[in-house]
Amino acid sequence: MVENFQGKVVLVTGASSGIGAETARQFASLGASLAITGRNAENLQNVAKDCGQKNVLIVVGDVSVEEDAERIIRETIDKFGRLDVLVNNAGILENGGIKDTSLAQYDRIMAVNMRAVYHLTMLAVPHLIKTKGNIVNLSSVAGTRSFQNILSYCISKSALDQLTRCTALELAADGVRVNAVNPGVISTPIFERAGMQDQAVKEYLEGSKETHPLGRVGQPSEVANAIVFLASDRASFITGATLPIDGGRQLTCSRATVKQ
């Protein structure tokens, strides 16, 4: 059986970059109709082009803004009349441990990585129940292991793992599956966006060859492969899973830090 998303509608948040963009491209290649959302219209246009543009809806918005989240779901349903898969991918990373963090940082990270996912999930569930659809959340190895210097990020991803399990339990009777992927270090612009300088990113990615037992960082396509699998009928008996896509990172001791 090959994954086939003909006639299915997939919503990917943070689809303008990195893992989200690659996930959108993979779903498109398997016949899905797509709603892609993010804050950068130009990048979303480029991703839509890669997806063949047919059956692609672009919704520009910030997932942490309540009206935007409502509009993302509303425009998706207005355009396609249904929703089969929600991929909660949008996320941010920032440096900071308990000695140098702030409540403002905690609020920023939780607003995007957790509260927005909670909100979009609430809004999407009535539609997913109708289609017996499913949700894939983008968590992290930082949700299941402890890392220095990215405290709020770790907390946000742990909370997301628990959201995944609790909603999976609640929605199982409705035929709606909920899963998460937990990547290790993946080569995307997230580190630059977190404020790391180019050289620091280079060194961090190089150092990750040591911390990931498979001896390298991952690529966005390797995470997208797993997202597509979990969203497909091939994963029909999988719910509440938090799947490491991390070259074995979760097996090793976790002393690596994200440096500026």
Catalytic center residues: 153
Q: For residue 252, what are the CA distances in angstroms to 93, 126, 144, 145?
A: 21, 40, 12, 10
Phi, psi for 112 (deg, rounded to 5): -90, -50
Nearer to ligand NAD, 106 or 131 (CB): 106
* Candidates 101-109, 125-133, 181-189, 225-233; binding stretch for ligand NAD (CB under 6 A): 181-189
Count interface residues toward ligand NAD (CB under 6 A): 25
Q: Please list every residue from 188 through 207 that binds ligand NAD, using CB under 6 A.
A: 188-190, 193
| Site membership for ligand NAD, residue 20 (CB under 6 A) | yes
Q: Which residues contact 235 (CB under 8 A, 6 or more apart)?
A: 177, 179, 229
| Site membership for ligand NAD, residue 242 (CB under 6 A) | no
Kindly tell me which residue out of 9, 14, 48, 151 binds ligand NAD, with binding defined by CB under 6 A.
14
| Site membership for ligand NAD, residue 64 (CB under 6 A) | yes
Look up residue 53 and give its two tokens: 């543009």
- How many CB atoms within 10 Å of residue 214? 12
| Site membership for ligand NAD, residue 51 (CB under 6 A) | no
What span, in angstroms and rounded, lies between the C-alpha atoms of 60 and 36? 8
Residue 112 DSSP label = I
Cβ distance 214 to 208 under 8 Å?
Answer: no
Look up residue 165 and give its two tokens: 């399990």
Smallest separation (angstroms) from ligand NAD to the CB of 30? 20
Q: Please list every residue from 86 through 115 that binds ligand NAD, using CB under 6 A.
A: 89-92, 112
> What does the binding site for ligand NAD look like in residue numbers (CB under 6 A)?
14, 16-20, 38-39, 62-64, 89-92, 112, 138, 140, 183, 185-186, 188-190, 193
